Amino acid sequence: MPVIAISSPKGGAGKTTAATLLASELAARGTTVTVIDADPNKNVVDWAKLGGLPETLEVTGDVDEESITDRIEAAAQASAFVIIDLEGTASLMVSYAIAMADLVIIPVQGSQLDAKQAARQIKLIRSQERVTRRKIPFAVLVTRTNPAIMPKTLRHIEASFAEHGVPVFGVRLFDREAYRALFSFGGTLEGLGDKGVSNLAAAITNARAYVAEVLRTLRASGTATKADAASEVA
C-alpha cells in the first residue's frame, strides 16, 4: 500500500503538521492508516496520546534505523496508507524510508533557507533512486503561509522550483490556529468544533484540499490503493 514519507532536513518546516493532517483526514473517512513517528521529538506520538483519534488510525514511535524497513513493510501489509514523519537530519533511517516511499513530501516555508534545504533533500531522493533503480515521486509542499498575502520571497522561490523542474503542490498549507490546536486538544480537525478555534471551517477546507492533491499525485504516479472511499475526496 502507498508509503508516504514526509521529510525535510530543516526543523520547523511543518513536517509533523503535514503528517498529522494527512493521517487524520484519511482515517476520519474510515481508511486504515499507520503513522510511523521517526522523529526524535515524537510529536505525533504525543498527539496520539491526547485521544480522540479515528479507530482506523494507528501511531507508532518505536522505530530506529535497524527496524525502520521492517516497520514499514509490516505497516504496509496492515494499512491502506503508511505515513512516516522523518527526523530533520540526514541519517540512514531517512535514507531507508525514502528508498521505500511511493511519495516523498518535502515541506518548505517561504524562505530561501528552507528552499536550500529542500534542494538538499531532493539530492538525497535522487541518490536513493540510483540505489533502488526506480523513480521515487516527490513534491514540495509550501507550509505556514498567509492565505491573503503572497510574499515576493515565496513567489521567487516557487519560480525557481518551476525553472528547475521541481514539482510543487498547488495547495499550500496555511498558517491556521486549528493546526496548532490539534497538538493541544488531540483528535481531528472536525473534533475541534467545541474548542472555540478560530477559522476552523477554513482550516478543514485547506486540509482536505491538501489530502486530495496527495491522492491525485499518488494516482498520477501509478500507485494503486485499496482506499477507494478516501480517493473520493479528490
Summarize pLDDT for 2-36 with one digit per residue, the tens. 999 999 877 777 999 999 999 999 999 999 999 99
Read off the pLDDT of residues 169-219 as tens digits, 9 standing for 90 and up: 999 999 999 999 999 999 999 999 999 999 999 999 999 999 999 999 999
The total of other beta-carbon atoms located within 10 Å of residue 153's CB is 13
What's the count of helices (H) and strands (E) in the chain, helices before strands? 9, 7
| pLDDT tens figures, 44-58 | 999 999 999 999 999
The pTM is what? 0.93
Give 99-148 pLDDT, tens digit per residue: 999 999 999 987 888 888 889 999 999 999 999 999 999 999 999 988 87
37 forms beta bridges with 85
Q: Cα separations (Å) of 190 from 28, 38, 54, 94, 127?
A: 9, 26, 11, 31, 40
Structural domain boundaries in the chain: 3-226
Task: Note the pLDDT of residue 134.
Answer: 95
Question: 3-226 architecture in CATH?
Answer: 3-Layer(aba) Sandwich (3.40)
